[in-house]
Structures are given as C-alpha cells and as structure tokens.
Structure 1
Amino acid sequence: MTMALKSSSLSKIPTAFASCSIGCRDDHTLPKKLQAISAAGFSAIELSMPDIVSFASTYFHQPVASDHYDSLVEAARVIRGICDTQGLEILMLQPFSNFEGWQHGSDERKDAFDRARGWIRIMEAAGTDMLQVGSSDSPEDQIGTDRQRMVTDLQQLADMLLEHTFRLAYENWCWSTHAPKWRDAWDIMRQVDRPNFGLCLDTFQTAGSEWADPTTESGLIDSLSEVELNQRFQTSLEDLSKTVPKDRIYLLQISDAYKPKQPLSKETDDSGLRPRGRWSHDFRPLPFHDGYLPVIEVTKAVLRTGFRSWFSYEVFDAGADGKGRQYELDEFAKWATEAHTQLLKECAED
C-alpha cells in the first residue's frame, strides 16, 4: 500500500530556478534575472553556460567565446558574488551536453574532455558542486549505440568531478539518441556505479518521452490506445517510485508543455535537432499555465521515492505558438512561486 503524501512533509522542499528560464528581452540581463528570482523567494539557481557567456561579454565589453575559459572563470566569480548578495545558492552548472559516446581518438571526444576540464574550472569559480549532464543527442552514426562506451565515458567524467568533490546529475533528455527515458538514465547510473553520480529527473522529460508526442494531432504517443498509453505510463511511474533510491535523485526539474497548435514535423531540422528537442526549446511553460502534461502525476511518483530535495523550475516558454512572449521579470518569477505552491497543494494527499 502506498503511503499518502502528507503536506507537512512537502512544506520544506527547497526551490531553485534555472537562470536560462527567465528573460525575454535584451535588457533582461543576468543580474536583473537574479534579482527577480531572489525577490520571488527562490533559494538557488541553476546557472546556465549561455548566461555566463552573455554576462562575460558584457563584463569585458567584448564578445567572449564559449571556450575562453579564463574569461568565463572570472565572470563566474563575479556572478557568484552577485548571487551571494541576492542570497542565492548556485545549485549546479548546466547544460553539459553531447559528452558521451564519441569514438576514441576522435576530435569530438578530445573536445568533450577539454570542455569538461573547462567547465570544472567554472564550477570551482562559481562555488557549485554539481554538473548537469544531458544524455547525448548526437547522431547515432557518430556515437553509436554501445551503452558500455557511454558508461565508460561517464565513469571517467564522474572520476574527474570526484577529484574536486563534485557531483554529476545525469538527465534523460526525451530526444536523446541513446537515453530518452528515466529507465535509461537509471540503468546507466547503476552501471557507472560512482558515489557522485545521481539523477536529474524532469517532469517534461519523463512525460515527454513516454506519454506525449508533439508530432501527432492528439499530442500523445498514438501507437497505443489512450487507455493503454495511460496504463503503461502509470506502470512506469509506479516502477520509478519503487526503484530509484531517494538519495540518488539530486534534483527534480519541473515544467509543463504546450501541445503544439500544429503537429511538429517528424524530421530533424537544419541543425539536426529532433522534434522533441525543438518542442523542449520553446514550448515549456510553468505548471498550471495552459500546458497538458501530467506534471502532478510525475511529481507524485518522484515524491513517493521519499525524495524531498530540490525542486528546480526550468521552463522555456515562447508562448503556445513557440514564437515568443513578453513579460516582466518580477511578474514571471512570481508566477513560478505561485506554480510551486499550487503543485505542492495538488500533490498533498492528506
């Protein structure tokens, strides 16, 4: 019998907001975003690399490349000071992508490990101990499907991080080439078998890989009847609750999704991005803001593991048509706080 989720056990869940999830104008600078996130009552941020690059370019009054680590490290130190002033912890650095699976001896593999060393330097400067790694979406003909190769690469990255007492939060991206589902990330985590390797679970990624499909008229995976689909998804959530230890979940990222008004093309775009990737980049509002994913059900499943750590709001809301929307920073951050309050209320069963 599943124990009810008591509201008293949910009341002290710490909250973070991803720095990449707020801002819709050029004048929405990182310092202004941090001020709004703090004023809305969040305790921490996920610091995104694009925000560091943008801030560094402003700080140094010239464009800074994403691999100019000396400048990015200095910028990260300044950002850390701003966060300290705003009473914000830097929960993690994100999103580290397309790391695992490259052929040994390839330029891509060398670049992946060079990036890892550079990002570790930035983590030290920013004062964060966690790196988010998204499951690779590099083409299959480039990284293959050999899971052991993925595991070996991730073991090496975890060991690099462990030298600094840093952690790796591995996330299944629903458009990933080799690990689109929570079970994939869980299986990889068990094989990596490192004490500093845990999961970054996500309401969008979980529902977006196993329940929803932005390329269909219904917005749902249509290879099954809706009844069968819901039954299968419910079984998956029950398995998550019973399988994943609470202390191996480092955070839960939260967002909803709009059902596209017109189904997205099933083809990759000019950059090679798959449809679920395009959907992720522009169609992810806060919960209770006209999305359609079963966010409450996914959140409950994670909570039933006993997890009571970070809820981090990571949204990419370009409006229901994906073409952009306008808002004020303080207003948007306040909406996120209200969504968190409502989500906890909906999850409580007492």
Structure 2
Amino acid sequence: MSLLKDSLSSIPTCYATVSVGTPKHNLEDKLKAIATAGFQGIELGFLDLLSFASKNLGREMGPQEFDVLCKAGLEVKRMCKELGLKIVMLQPFANFEGWKPQSEERKEAFKLAKGWIRIMEAVGTDMLQVGSTDSPIPTARDVAVSDLKELADLLAPHNFRLAYENWCWSTHAPDWKDVWDIVKKVDRPNVGLCLDTFQTAGGEWADPTTRSGLLEHESRADLKKKFHESLKSLAATIPAEKIYILQISDAYKPKKPLDPSPDESGLRPRGRWSSSLRPVPFDGGYLPVIDVVKAVLETGFRGWFSMEVFDGGPDGQDQGWKDMPAYTKKAMKSHERLLQEVKT
C-alpha cells in the first residue's frame, strides 16, 4: 500500500497524560499543554486521575474509591471538553489475565475491572487498554483467552472496547504475534490491539542488557532480516480494523547495559528500560520506529497515533522537570516529521 500524503493527513493525534511531567503535576496543566500543542485526544492515565482526585479532596485517595474517582472523572471530562480533547482511552490496566481460577488475585482483578468500567462511563471514553501481564506466575494462553473473553463481555453492554497490548517484558505475550494470536482466540468484536513502536522494536530488535543495545544471539544481518520479516508479516496479517490505536515512542540505548535480573520489585530489564528511557522519535533514540510505523500503516490503519513516552533523558533521571508545553510541542513536531519520513 502506498503511503501517500493525503492518506496520512487525516490521522488523529493523541497524547498520554502520563507522558508529560509526573502524576504529581497538575492534570489541568497537562491537558492544557497537550491541547495547546495541537493534539486532538488523550490517553487518560489512571494515576493522573487518582492524583487529581486526591488533590481535589485534600487527602490521599485509594485506587478503589470508585465513587469519588467517578466524580473526579466527570470533572476531567468537563475540562477535556472545554479544551477540545477527546478521551480516547483509559490506561494502563495491568496484570489482569491469567490468575488461577477462584484465586483472590483473580477476584481482585475483576473487581478492579468493574470499577474501571464505571470510570470509563464517567469520563466518556469507550476504550480500555490492557497490557499483557508480567506476573511471575506462569500464564497459560487458554486461561488468558478465557479471562479476556469475560472482560470483553463485561465491556460489551456499554459499547466499550478492549485494546490489548504486548508489553515486551511480559511473561506470556511479549510480541505482537502473541497478542494477535490471543485476540484471534478471544474472538470478540470489541477486542483489538494496542500496538506500540517501543514494545515491538524493543522486544524483537533491541536488548537493553547488551553493550550494542541489540539482540546479540544472531548476526546483525540476520537480526535485521528477521525483524523486517516480522514487520512484513504484521502488515500482511492484521486487519486494520483490529488495530485500535498505535502508541509511539523511541528508546535511548542505556549508557551501560542493564542488569538482566529482575529488580527488587520483580520488574525485568525491559520494564525498567520502558519506565524512563523512552523519548519521542528523532530525539536521541535508536529504535527503528519508522519501520514499525510503516508496517502498521501498510495494514490500512489510519486511526489514533498516540505519543506515549517516558523520557527521563539519556540517563533516565530527569523525568518530571520538563517544561510541559515545550515538550508537548516537541512531540507534535516529532509526529509531523514521522509522517514525512514514512511516506513512500
């Protein structure tokens, strides 16, 4: 498919609230910075909603105080409407699928899901992002499929959708092929994919634990060939209508290789890399972002392009100090350049 300029001009632009400043920053200031930069929508980060509700009440809110969170969500909806921003998605719903039947963890996951559905109703979004679990407990694929079917059926009466994302440090679905296989087996009309340039290239091309920053179990030429074969398969395999959103970020190569072992919280190196070393494209990163975006566009997808970055600078220590309006404007320039670069 030729990626002509006129076919790209209508792509809507989105920005994740968690990707500017920190949850401690004022959410209204974040929204104003996003809107002023020209973005049309947001991914609403749950931690930002929690922080907003806490500040409004003058006390630390709990993540399951859903009555209060829904009231706060109505105010966020109002602010977004005034700024001309659509709330595209609530994110990130993590470690949902794969728990043992009848376990307390599974009951808690579904309790949270029902609460998040209430929040979605309050803020006026129809999409919930679910990240592929990174629990150390082994997750059988058929169990994950069953859980996601049940969640999809909870969402369906509200006309809500589930956007399933591969997290490249996931224990059971780190690649796009994994989540696509799961989505096909879930086989619900309201379940699709949240694809992500970092998650795709960061898992199949790069490795933050090596000196080169790349996977090193094969030659550079073989790595390049294998990666581009994967992208070719993505372009030929996934129907455009099953891609709900494309999240975009690059990654800095760590200044020194990350420890390959999980940290004290159990987070694997790619998860640690993800949390603070993800700039906008063309700003010091090294992932083949353009190649991933081209592959997604070649499916025919022309939906939301969303900047989801976690930019702590090349050393990972500077997150949160940025001039938010300046950073969101830089992100929009990155988006505009990306559309220029992907044209063929």
After TM superposition, is the score higher than 0.5?
yes
Kindly provide the CA deviation profile for residues 245-292 of structure 1, in whole angstroms up to 9, marking residues without a partner as x: 000000100000000000000000011000000000010000000000
TM-score normalized by the length of structure 1: 0.97
Match of 1:118 among 115, 124, 131: 115
Matches within 5 A, 1:241-280: 241-280=235-274
Q: Which amino acid aligns with 2:109?
A: A
Instruction: Quote the residue 1:30 is aligned against.
Output: 27
What is the deviation of 1:327?
Answer: 2.0
Q: Distance in 1 between matches of 2:170 and 2:46?
A: 20
Counterpart CA distance in 1 for 2:144 and 2:324 is: 39
1:136 is the counterpart of 2:130 = no
Mapped pair 1:228 → 2:225:
no
State the one-letter code of the partner of 1:203.
T
SS of the aligned residue for 1:190 comes to helix
Alignment match, 2:164:
170
Q: Distance in 2 between matches of 1:17 and 1:250?
A: 15
**Structure 1 moving runs of 4+ over 6 Å:** none
Q: Secondary structure at the match of 2:88?
A: strand
- Listed as ranges, the matches of 1:1-350 within 5 Å are 3-23=1-21, 26=24, 28-139=25-136, 142=137, 144-325=138-319, 326-349=321-344
Gaps of 5+ in 2: none
1:184 shift after superposition: 0.2
- List alignment gaps of at least 5 residues for structure 1: none
Query: 8 Å contact 1:24–1:327 — kept in the other structure?
Result: no
Q: From the superposition, tell whether residues 70 and 146 of structure 1 become closer, same or farther in structure 2 (CA, over 3 Å).
A: same
**What is the one-letter code of the residue matched to 2:107?**
K
Query: For the residues of structure 2 that align with 1:299 and 1:193, how far apart are their CA atoms?
Result: 25
Residue aligned with 2:327, SS: helix
Give CA-to-partner distance per residue, 1:118-139, whole Å, 9 cap, x none. 0000000000000000000001
CA distance in structure 2 between the partners assigned to 1:79 and 1:273 by the alignment: 31
TM-score by length of 2: 0.98
Cα-to-partner distance string for 1:163-216 (whole Å, 9 max, x where unaligned): 111000000000001000000010000000000000000000000110000000
* 2:294 partner amino acid: K
The one-letter code sitting in structure 1 at the alignment partner of 2:329 is K
Alignment-mate amino acid for residue 322 of structure 2: Y
State the one-letter code of the partner of 2:36: A
What is the identity percentage for the equivalent residue pairs of Structure 1 and Structure 2? Answer: 57
How many residue pairs end up in the alignment? 343
The Cα shift of 1:114 comes to 0.3
CA distance in 1, matches of 2:23, 2:158: 36
Rounded Cα–Cα distance in structure 2 between residues aligned with 1:101 and 1:163 = 23
Mapped partners of 2:10, 2:55: distance in 1: 37
Report the residue type matching 2:243 in the other structure: I
Distance 2:146 2:170 in 1: 18
SS in 1 for 2:195: strand
Amino acid of the residue matched to residue 130 of structure 2?
V
Shift in Å at residue 4 of structure 1? Answer: 2.4
Deviations 1:110-163 (A, max 9, x none): 100000000000000000000000000001xx2x23100110000000000001
> 2:147 & 2:271 partners in 1: Cα distance?
23
Q: Secondary structure at the match of 2:303?
A: coil
The whole-number CA distance in structure 1 between the counterparts of 2:23 and 2:125 is 27
Secondary structure of the corresponding residue to residue 111 of structure 1: helix
